[in-house]
Amino acid sequence: MLKTRHWLLGAGALAAFYFGGSYFLKLNRLSTELESEAKAFIHKVSLTGIELSIHVKLKNPSGGSIEVKHPFVKLIYDDKTLASSQVKDSNITLSKFSEVNLDPIKISLSFLNLATTVPTLLKAYRESGKLNMVLHTVTTINDSLPYSKQEMISLGGGKQA
């Protein structure tokens, strides 16, 4: 009787290890296969600053359905965070082999903040007519696996030669 119980406990532990390990391997594969594509546009320019519109597209090229938290977006220049989006606690479901375009994320950059924190950015903008920054997107897959991606973006059309 005691041996049978040990055999059942061992078999249960082995099954839990096998299925748990395969689940975590599948999640790890999903995090490497999930793709995000972000584009930034100048939405509005006023006397107080610039309002940016960030368009994020999430792509799921895998055969499994996943849930992704609404992405958090940061604008970075010279290793300094200029602005960031608001944090939203909402899930986005990505079916297998699908992509989702999210509603635009609005971020405001005040000229006063830019002039005091990163004067070199404004100087570069005056010379070239462009703002070159890093867009950092952060989210979580299935409430357990972190995902982040950094992309170089360029705002403004630049001056014609």
Does this model's pTM top 0.85? My answer is no
Q: Does domain 34-155 have CATH number 2.60.40.10?
A: yes
Domain boundaries, the chain: 1-33, 34-155
Question: Residue 17's pLDDT is what?
Answer: 61
pLDDT tens for each residue of 80-122 = 888 899 999 999 998 988 999 999 999 988 888 777 777 787 7
Q: Which residue has the higher pLDDT, 155 or 31?
A: 155
pLDDT at residue 76 is higher than 60: yes
Q: How sure is the predictor about 57, in pLDDT bands with cuts at 50, 70 and 90?
A: very high
- In contact, 102 and 96? CB cutoff 8 Å: no
Q: How sure is the predictor about 34, in pLDDT bands with cuts at 50, 70 and 90?
A: confident
Element (H, E) at 5: helix 2-33
pLDDT at residue 130 is higher than 60: yes
Q: Which residue has the higher pLDDT, 58 or 21?
A: 58
pLDDT at residue 8 is higher than 80: no
Q: What is the dihedral of CA 39, 43, 45, 46, to 10 degrees?
A: -140
Question: Residue 161's pLDDT is what?
Answer: 39
Question: Residue 160's pLDDT is what?
Answer: 46
- In contact, 122 and 114? CB cutoff 8 Å: yes
**Pick from 35, 55, 159: nearest CA to 107:** 55
Q: Rounded CA gap, 54 and 38, in Å?
A: 7
Q: How sure is the predictor about 132, in pLDDT bands with cuts at 50, 70 and 90?
A: confident
Question: Residue 136's pLDDT is what?
Answer: 92
